[in-house]
């Protein structure tokens, strides 16, 4: 894989990225190659399952710009492991600007790619662009697009006690932040019945298998206090570019019905594909190859249309 280390600033914080260059000239034009801007989902890092997708794009003639959010992986930022959805969207905006100026990249053929939590970010980011035409398309894989609905989902599969625990931990962490103390961290995933942000069956094992060297199974507990306010679904009608939305019908983390309702709000050309898979199945074969092939098909048609 032909990749180069790149750093860029997002609101004064240095973020780390890889520029993964295409290994074919199938989509090369006079202005350069198309590029996909990619980041991970909730608490994820660029070395955790994303390069397999970038490699598929590279073989199809598409560059990728794969980055870590501030406070995660190889990026700077403090406190560490702090999921702030507004900050992560700002990081996407900054990464998009950098990708447009990469050597060999066509600035008019830039797409946004997201998975889970970031699959919602890319919808919001595309809608927020001052010139909404500067995003050519969106790939939104197993999207988590409504934080309020996500909390209801947690209550259904883990009980309201899990929400009460998360709220208590969030308040504890918020107090520590207010008094300049180190953050209080809680697990991202855990087995059913444990105390973690996600405790669906199989989530813990899938996270461990996917996690790269810089991944940490912890986040600042304060996120629990703002989770309900992250609602990318409200931006869907404002997106101007074509979208591919990939939904797992067995998804225990991001309810498929919520993603379906979001897709119906979209006014742009939207392709909705469903698969009989759970949330983390997209990071391993056989489903990774299937989902990735559909993304390559969508992007290839997008960038030649």
Domain-located, residue 183 = no
Domain-located, residue 194 = no
Q: Read off the DSSP letter of residue 183.
A: P
Domain-located, residue 118 = yes
Tokens of 62: 């598409």
pLDDT value of residue 1: 76
Of 131 and 157, the structure prediction assigns the larger pLDDT to 157
pLDDT digit string, tens, across residues 244-294 = 999 999 999 999 999 999 999 887 789 999 999 999 999 999 999 999 999
pLDDT value of residue 305: 75
pLDDT value of residue 147: 86
Domain-located, residue 213 = no
Domain-located, residue 93 = yes
pLDDT value of residue 133: 73
Mean pLDDT of the chain: 94
- Using pLDDT thresholds of 50, 70 and 90, give the confidence band for residue 132: low
pLDDT value of residue 159: 84
Question: Which parts of 124-233 are beta strand (E)?
Answer: 137-141, 185-186, 219-220
Structural domains in the chain (count)? 1
Domain-located, residue 282 = yes
Token pair 């249309």 is at which residue?
Answer: 305
Which structural domain range is residue 267 located in?
3-147+229-304
- Using pLDDT thresholds of 50, 70 and 90, give the confidence band for residue 221: very high
**In this predicted structure, which of 103-107, 146-150, 242-246 has the lowest mean pLDDT?**
146-150
Domain-located, residue 132 = yes
- Residues above pLDDT 70, as percent of the chain: 100
pLDDT of 41 over the 80 cut = yes
Q: Are 112 and 139 in contact (CB under 8 A)?
A: yes
pLDDT value of residue 248: 97
Question: Mean pLDDT throughout 59-80?
Answer: 98
Question: Mean pLDDT throughout 32-40?
Answer: 98
Question: Mean pLDDT throughout 116-132?
Answer: 92
Domain-located, residue 173 = no
pLDDT value of residue 131: 74
Question: Mean pLDDT throughout 62-88?
Answer: 97
Please report, for the domain that includes residue 271, its CATH number: 3.40.50.1820
Phi, psi (degrees; rounded to nearest 5) at 53: -70, -40
Report d(CA 279, CA 126) in Å as an integer. 23
């Amino acid at each position: 894989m032909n990749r180069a280390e790149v750093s860029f600033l997002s609101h004064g914080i240095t973020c780390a990225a890889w520029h993964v260059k295409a290994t074919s000239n199938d989509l090369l034009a006079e202005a350069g190659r198309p590029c996909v801007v990619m980041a991970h989902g909730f608490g994820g890092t660029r070395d955790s399952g994303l390069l397999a997708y970038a490699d598929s794009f590279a073989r199809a003639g598409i560059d990728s710009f794969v980055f870590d959010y501030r406070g995660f992986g190889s990026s700077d930022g403090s406190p560490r492991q702090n999921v702030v959805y507004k900050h992560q969207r700002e990081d996407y905006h900054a990464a998009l600007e950098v990708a447009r100026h990469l050597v060999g990249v066509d600035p008019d053929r830039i797409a946004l790619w997201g998975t889970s939590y970031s699959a919602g970010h890319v919808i919001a980011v595309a809608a927020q662009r001052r010139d909404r035409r500067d995003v050519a398309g969106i790939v939104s894989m197993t999207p988590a697009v409504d934080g309020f609905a996500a909390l209801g989902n947690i209550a259904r599969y883990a009980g309201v006690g899990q929400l009460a625990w998360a709220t208590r931990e969030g308040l504890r962490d918020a107090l520590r932040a207010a008094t300049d103390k180190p953050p209080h961290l809680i697990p991202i995933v855990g087995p059913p019945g444990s105390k973690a942000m996600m405790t669906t069956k199989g989530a813990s094992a899938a996270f461990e298998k996917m996690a790269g060297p810089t991944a940490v199974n912890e986040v600042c507990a304060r996120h629990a206090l703002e989770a309900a306010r992250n609602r990318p679904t409200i931006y869907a009608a404002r997106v101007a570019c074509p979208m591919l939305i990939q939904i797992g019908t067995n998804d225990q983390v991001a309810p498929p019905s919520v993603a379906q309702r979001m897709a119906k709000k979209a006014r742009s050309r939207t392709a909705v594909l469903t698969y009989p898979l759970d949330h983390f199945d997209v990071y391993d074969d056989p489903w990774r190859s299937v989902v990735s092939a559909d993304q390559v098909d969508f992007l290839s048609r997008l960038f030649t249309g």
